[in-house]
């Protein structure tokens, strides 16, 4: 069955795909490029600063990000690998497009290196700090089936318990 790219939409907790480990993209094809463009559209419409394959119902190891919100800063990361996290960690409030109205303080390395393929299938490497590094780590978590509710403090988890229950009750497969 052919992928209907125009029908990709944001998936909400507790959709099972959000808990699945994404699979590597075997080749950067025209279809993968169109998916990347569509994911950027969905991210901007939401609005958000990042969006991973599982969040649009695809078990692909790819995400899009634009931490600055500037038009020219849209970027697609295919088969990303994170490495060299800084020893310094920072706590900061995070939210997630797939978990509306839920937020919590998450501790992450303040800087990290990412290696991935771009939409032309070319490998690139970048070092990100602060918000950029946080966005990459957040989206990478989605590729591993990890959500912010798994990383937040127990107090934040308790504070979000009611909203999580409501999302679970409203969920339709």
Q: Are 66 and 17 in contact (CB under 8 A)?
A: no
Does residue 115 carry a catalytic annotation?
A: no
3-state secondary structure of 128: strand
105 SS3 class: strand
Give the residue among 129, 61, 54, 68 at the shortest CA–CA distance from 99. Answer: 54
Give strand pairing partners of 107. Answer: 91
Catalytic residue (one of 31, 45, 139, 154): 139
DSSP three-state, residue 112: strand
Compute the CA torsion angle 123, 129, 134, 139 (nearest 10 deg).
Answer: -10
Separation of alpha carbons 18 and 52, rounded Å = 10
Name the residues annotated as catalytic: 139
């Amino acid at each position: 069955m052919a992928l209907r790219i125009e029908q990709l939409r944001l998936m909400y907790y507790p959709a099972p795909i959000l808990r699945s480990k994404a699979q590597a993209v075997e080749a950067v094809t025209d279809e993968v490029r169109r998916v990347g463009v569509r994911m950027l559209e969905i991210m901007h419409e939401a609005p958000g600063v990042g969006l991973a394959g599982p969040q649009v119902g695809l078990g692909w190891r790819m995400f899009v990000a634009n931490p600055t919100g500037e038009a020219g800063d849209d970027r697609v990361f295919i088969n990303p690998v994170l490495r060299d996290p800084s020893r310094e960690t920072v706590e900061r409030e995070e939210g997630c497009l797939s978990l509306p109205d839920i937020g919590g303080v998450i501790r992450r390395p303040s800087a990290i290196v990412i290696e991935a393929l771009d939409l032309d299938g070319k490998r690139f490497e970048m070092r990100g700090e602060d918000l950029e590094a946080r966005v990459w780590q957040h989206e990478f978590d989605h590729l591993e089936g990890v959500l912010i509710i798994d990383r937040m403090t127990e107090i934040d988890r308790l504070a979000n318990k009611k909203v999580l229950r409501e999302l679970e009750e409203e969920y339709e497969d």
